[in-house]
Amino acid sequence: MNVTSSTVDSIIVIEASGSIDSKTAPEFERTAMAAVQGQKEVIIDLTNVEFLSSAGLRVLLMIYRQVKAKSGKVVLVGTSEEIQDIMANTGFLSFFSTADTMQEGIDILKAA
């Protein structure tokens, strides 16, 4: 698993790749939580994430809470059909906006 954070048009973009399981989730959590501190516009790019377990869902939940506390918004970009199914199954999906591409994600945040 790799995770990076960057800023695009004042939006915080967290990009992960590989597998987010109980082994790798702590690193995802550290990088993501540090990056979203005090931020209101956040994109999590999951395009290259091939596997996400409940440990990864837990981190998404923490990010959501942090951003929501600032009345902000989190958009998930490129979430695979399999991961979207799991998120729907656990009631997660309805709390996030989803977009197929980064540009679409940026548009959603800028329109808000």
Partner 1 sequence: MERKTFPGTLDSLEGIRQEVKEESQRVGLSKKATYNLLLAIDEIATNIIMHGYEENDKSGVIDLQIDHRDNQIEVTLEDDAPPFDPLQHTLPTEEFFNKPLEERPIGGMGIHLTINAVDKFRYEFANQRNRNIFVVKVGDA
Instruction: Name the residues that contact partner 1, by CB under 8 A.
Output: 19, 21-23, 51, 53-55, 57-58, 61-62, 64-65, 68, 81-82, 85-86, 89-92, 95
What does the block give as tokens for 36? 């979203």
Q: Where are the beta strands (DSSP E) in the chain?
A: 2-8, 11-20, 41-52, 73-77, 97-99
Shortest gap between Cβ of 31 and partner 1 (angstroms)? 18
- Compute how many other C-beta atoms are within 10 angstroms of the C-beta atom of residue 49: 23
What is the Cα Rg of the chain in Å?
12
Closest distance of CB 90 from partner 1, Å: 6
Shortest CB 111 distance to partner 1, Å = 22
- In this complex, which beta carbon is closest to partner 1, that of residue 5 or of residue 95? 95
